Structure 1
Amino acid sequence: MDQLGEAAKTASDDKPTADAPKKATVPDFVGMGLQSAQDKAQGAGLHGLTSHDALGRERMQAFDRNWKVRSQTMEAGAFKPTDTDLDFGALKLREDCPAKNEKPPTAEGGKVPNFASESVKAARSALDSGVSLTVKDALPDDRWVLVESNWKVCTQEPAAGTSLNGQPVTLKAVKFEESCP
């Protein structure tokens, strides 16, 4: 190959191709408000954004300004393709950060999980959609459990570890700020 051909090959090798993903340095979002973190991520070119409840209660982050970032799936300072998904572990502004993200319970091995202190919503999500589930107020007030992510399980029937054989499950719960009787 002549010198001109070699120079042309080198110059074209240094240029990014049109189909090469763009990359960005990932900022540190921990401690930021969720909406601010999302805005900053988008400003950096990151657009595959999701978030989850860091307390494992399966709450939706409907009003992002009411949530703060506890964790992020991409390490701060990493140089990543901008099409990489970034997930924020978030909690309400007034809540203390847990030592680690909490995971909702799962019904592994066909056994009833221990739902004690879990949100009713997380308990419902752990069970197969065909399981009959009844949720009752554990206090004598007989209140309706409308927003299940705001209620924690006090007792359950059948007990944790029981095989799931299609039997109904009953939970008694109180609001998270209340004590179980």
Structure 2
Amino acid sequence: MRRRVATVTAGATLALTVSAGAAVAAAGPPMPEFRGRGLMHVFSTVDYRTRVDVTDVSGLKRHVLWPMSWKVCTQSPAAGKAIGDEGVRIGVVKHGEKCPTAVAR
């Protein structure tokens, strides 16, 4: 009888350890600081499986087609926060333009 109790205890401990490890892994890697960098840097840094939503925040509602022509003004999640399953949201303007002071969310 004692042997069976020890086995159940060890199995429960292993299950708790595995589920705690899965929760940490699901959080994802930390988000780098991209503001002020080129949009191409985002695509070359973030894992290829991560969803990246890019929006022109200049107010001109342009399509972002050529990443080399754009710089990052806003990012979500913030630098240092975990990149989750929802992916990354990046606000950009063309190189040579200033980032707007207030960006509509």
The one-letter amino acid paired with 1:34 is L
> CA offsets per residue over residues 77-122 of structure 1, 9 Å max, x none?
11232x222111000111112212257xxxxxxxxxxxxxxxxxxx
For 1:29, which of 11, 28, 34 is the aligned residue?
A: 34
Greater percentage in strand: 1
Match runs of 1:10-159 below 5 Å:
10-16=13-19, 21=26, 23-42=28-47, 47-81=50-84, 83-101=85-103
Unaligned runs of 5+ in 2: none
Q: Give the drift of 1:7.
A: 1.6
Larger helix percent: 2
Percent identical pairs in the alignment equals 23
Superposition RMSD on alpha carbons, in Å? Answer: 2.2
Aligned-partner Cα distance in 1 for 2:102–2:45? 23
Instruction: Supply the distance in 2 between the matched residues of 1:100 and 1:42 (Cα, whole angstroms).
Output: 29
Work out which structure has the larger RCO, using CA pairs closer than 8 Å and 6 or more positions apart in sequence: 2
- Structure label with greater radius of gyration: 1
Paired residues in the alignment total: 98
The separation in 2 between residues aligned to 1:74 and 1:102, in whole angstroms, is 16
In structure 2, give the amino acid aligned to 1:57.
Answer: L
Q: Which ranges of 4 or more aligned residues in structure 1 deviate by more than 4 Å?
A: none
- Name the TM-score, length of structure 2 as normaliser: 0.79
Relative to the length of structure 1, the TM-score reads 0.48
